[in-house]
């Protein structure tokens, strides 16, 4: 195979990613006060050096209380912008493009970092935890009950996302992703299983999507040339929840609002779900959402080069993202390029590594 689809470039709003194998945002829980540090420089630099087309930085809180945990990154001050600019520069140095996932964890904020040896669940207020917010005052199973957002609070939240996007552009990020998945604040608004509002932000899908749409529109107005990705949970694995067909309808709306690509994941908004996980288990959701008229990314147990290539050539998705495979081996893109006999794979090999990666 001389020209695998996986290693063809893709361009969003004039920004070209060198291939269609991207790195998913994955929480590292290594930040202090939301600031990037040496861990992030090495981690993200290694992923870029390994040949990824786009490296997506983990969920970064648009405000301190928007973080999943005290160990999560943030982007709410000049100091955070400066620290992340160094990460951007490292990724660019190794030929990759870099994005950042802007997030507010909503009712799933104020958790202990998901690291070995630590407790699970909400951090008590007296131990450094904080109050959480949601569309309705309904807790995620086992977590602290959140406060229902007022209409004024919703407007503040929208502004927080917009300002964080401005900071991301200032830091030099090539792509911004709005996190609308996994039960965090936007996802909990989108879902009928967590949004029980009776105002303009509740009820129909059109109403439940208003928060996300306003955020996307405002960011697009401020940054006409910025590639803008939205991650969604296209299925809650329940018939009475958000469905892939809803995802396709949402994609149509977001296309009107200026989004460029939908990053399709699933689940994590309600604990009571029967998830059938397996290799590529979310790919069919991506294919359904793609009917909404926007390019899509597939993610979730994509574990081999041939699997990733098949997803693309079959027209199920436009890019694929890997997570744990990249944690196991940051050079997975380079390995897969060699395996698929891509003519361009040697272009990803750092000069100092040439002895480990012969051209054939």
Tokens coding 354: 């040439």
- Residues carrying an active site annotation: 184
Tokens coding 332: 């997975």
- Over the Cα atoms of the chain, what is R_g? 19
Q: How many CA atoms lie within 13 A of 339 on its CB side?
A: 13
- In order, the DSSP letters of 102-119 are EE--GGG-SBPPS-TT--
Tokens coding 352: 């100092």
Tokens coding 337: 């390029």
Handedness of CA 24, 30, 35, 41 (dihedral sign): negative
Taking a C-beta distance cutoff of 8 angstroms, is the pair 302, 280 a contact? yes
Instruction: Using DSSP, state whether 357 is helix, strand or coil.
Output: coil
First to last CA, the chain: 13
């Amino acid at each position: 195979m001389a020209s695998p689809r996986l290693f063809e470039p893709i361009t969003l709003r004039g920004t070209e990613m060198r291939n269609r194998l991207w790195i998913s945002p994955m929480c590292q829980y290594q930040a202090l006060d939301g600031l990037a540090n040496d861990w992030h420089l090495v981690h993200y630099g290694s992923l870029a050096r390994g040949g990824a087309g786009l490296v997506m930085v983990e969920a970064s809180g648009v405000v301190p209380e928007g973080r999943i945990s005290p160990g999560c990154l943030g982007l709410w001050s000049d100091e955070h912008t400066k620290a992340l600019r160094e990460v951007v520069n490292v990724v660019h140095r190794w030929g990759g493009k870099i994005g950042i996932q802007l997030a507010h964890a909503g009712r799933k904020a104020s958790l202990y970092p998901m690291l070995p040896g630590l407790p699970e669940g909400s951090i008590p207020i007296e131990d450094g935890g904080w109050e959480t917010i949601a569309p309705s005052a309904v807790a995620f199973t086992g977590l602290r009950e959140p406060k229902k957002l007022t209409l004024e609070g919703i407007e503040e939240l929208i502004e927080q996302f917009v300002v964080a996007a401005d900071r991301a552009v200032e830091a030099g990020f090539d792509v911004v992703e709005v996190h609308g998945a996994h039960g965090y604040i936007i996802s909990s608004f989108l879902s009928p299983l967590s949004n029980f509002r009776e105002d303009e932000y509740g009820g129909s899908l059109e109403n439940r999507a208003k928060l996300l749409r306003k955020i996307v529109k405002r960011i697009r107005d401020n940054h006409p040339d910025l590639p803008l990705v939205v991650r969604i949970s296209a299925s809650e694995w329940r018939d009475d929840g958000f469905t892939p067909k809803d995802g396709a309808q949402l994609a149509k709306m977001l296309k009107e609002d200026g989004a460029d690509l939908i990053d399709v994941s699933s689940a994590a908004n309600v604990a009571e779900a029967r998830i059938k996980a397996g290799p590529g288990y979310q790919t069919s959701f991506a294919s359904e959402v793609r009917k909404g008229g926007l390019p899509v990314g597939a993610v979730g147990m994509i574990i081999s080069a041939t699997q990733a290539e098949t997803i693309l050539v079959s027209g199920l998705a436009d890019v694929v993202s890997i997570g744990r495979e990249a944690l196991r081996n940051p050079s997975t893109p380079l390995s897969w390029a060699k395996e698929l006999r891509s003519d361009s794979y040697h272009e990803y090999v750092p000069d100092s590594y040439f002895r480990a990666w012969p051209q054939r």
